[in-house]
Amino acid sequence: MLRDISDIYNRNIINILLICLVLVVPVTFFSYAAITYFNELETLEYRNIPAFCMWILNFSILFPPFFYIAKMDITEKEVNLIKILSVFINKFGFVAFLTIILFIIGMLGSVLLFIPSFLAIFMIILFPLFTDKENVLESLRSVWSVIKNEHIFIIVDVLILLSLNVLVWSGSFYLVANFENNTFVYIILRALTNSLLFPILYFYLTLKYRKDLV
């Protein structure tokens, strides 16, 4: 798996760097600026909820362009930068809308033994992998099929994703902890961290759960 991820990364390194520069950095900057705003908004009682939603959105809306890169690479088709950007634009509304709906379901499901919450998390992580399907219903069917067959592995992968995120961010934070910093510096640092980490996570999930492409 790691070798396959490395091969995809190396073969598409230019497009990945450009997409990180054009999409990952500005989207992450906006998302974490919004998170900072919500966290500092004293008039909002549950300000951590919209902040958490923005954190999840930051991950999900950036998934389709990298899924497209992996899909084209696996099927040995040419990857075009303009097409990658168009994938992001075309899938943005669909992915953002479903992420917000699933997030709300997950939050409401937290009072029901967290089972709906876990299902919502699984679907948020997986449905960008099926944005190439003909319609929303077909995408959701495919996601549900994966959840039924791979639910144990998905739980493990969720823990891995969270752990890697915390580990990489903590390491980056430690490197600049002794310097005089402000919120702007930490947002830029997070954008650069996501540029390093997200492509690897997206390629891993594509190879793991889109076995029909391999």
What is the predicted pLDDT for the residue at 193?
87
What is the predicted pLDDT for the residue at 32?
86
User: What DSSP string runs through 150-179?
Assistant: HHHHHHHHHHHHHHHHHHHHHHHHHHHTTS
pLDDT tens digits for range 31-62: 888 888 877 777 766 777 888 888 899 999 99
Say how far apart CA 95 and CA 59 lie, in whole Å: 10
- Round the average pLDDT of the chain to a whole number and report it: 86
pTM: 0.89
Quote the Cα angle for 49-54-57, to 5°: 125
pLDDT tens digits for range 5-26: 999 999 999 999 999 999 999 9
Q: Average pLDDT of 83-104?
A: 92
What is the predicted pLDDT for the residue at 189?
83
pLDDT band at 200, cuts 50/70/90? very high
Kindly tell me if the per-residue pLDDT of 204 is higher than 90.
yes
